[in-house]
Amino acid sequence: MIIAQLYNLLMLISILILIAAVPAFYLLRDFIFGIYLKIQRKITIGNHVVFSDLEGSIVKAGPFGIDLVDKYNDLKTIPYSKIRTKIITKQVSNSHLHKQIITFQLPATNATNQHLAQLLKCIINTPWQAASIVPTIENRTTHDDKVNLEIAVFVLKKDHAYKINDLVSRVLNLNNNI
């Protein structure tokens, strides 16, 4: 009788250990991969990273995963184990680049996503825009039936923003300012 009770107790303890071991394994795995990635300096707050189909800036590097803000301002939480086998591309900051704001004015009917994509593509294809950093829309305001877009471009010389402005204005027939 006592042997049967000890056997049942041993079985109960074994089952509880197995139930606790599975989550502990996953937590420990993410924790260890996080330490590994942090030691290699692949994960630091503020870095813009690209891996797989995700791209964004790291806002938090926790003990088990990272919080990433993508270009749509969506917060993505990714466990370290999901990125340990992925190639991480970090954008290297260049101290010689200058951020300039160019304001483009579009008719409200032309401010569709297709036209905005065409505008950004035209800016990217200019020889003065830094290839390593994508231009971003900083501000978008609507006044009367016009949409004003403030776009941040990164150039080696500040006067290159004027050249981008002129070229894009001629190509897309826009009224804009720096």
Q: Is the pTM of this model over 0.85?
A: no
Stretch 15-35: mean pLDDT = 88
With b for 16 or more beta-carbon neighbours within 10 A and e for fewer, the 102-134 pattern comes to bbbebeeeebeeebbeebbebbeebebbbeebb
Domain boundaries, the chain: 2-90, 98-177
pLDDT at 11: 93
* pLDDT at residue 116 greater than cutoff 70: yes
Q: Could you report the per-residue pLDDT of 73-110, keeping only the tens digit for each?
A: 888 888 887 876 665 666 555 667 788 888 888 777 76
Which tokens go with 149? 């877009």
Break the chain down into helix, strand, coil percent, rounded to 5.
Answer: 40, 30, 30
Q: Could you identify the residue written with the tokens 């197995």?
A: 18
pLDDT at 87: 59
Which tokens go with 164? 């981008």
The phi-psi region of residue 144 (left if phi > 0; otherwise alpha if psi is between -120 and 50; otherwise beta) is left
Chain centroid to Cα 152, Å, comes to: 16
Flag the least confident range among 6-15, 26-35, 76-85, 88-97.
88-97
Q: Which fold has domain 98-177?
A: Alpha-Beta Plaits (3.30.70)
pLDDT at 91: 56
Chain centroid to Cα 88, Å, comes to: 12
Terminal C-alpha separation, the chain: 89
Confidence bin at 176 (pLDDT 50/70/90) = low
Stretch 29-46: mean pLDDT = 81
pLDDT at 10: 92
Share of the chain above pLDDT 90, in %: 7
Q: Which fold has domain 2-90?
A: SH3 type barrels. (2.30.30)
* pLDDT at residue 151 greater than cutoff 60: yes
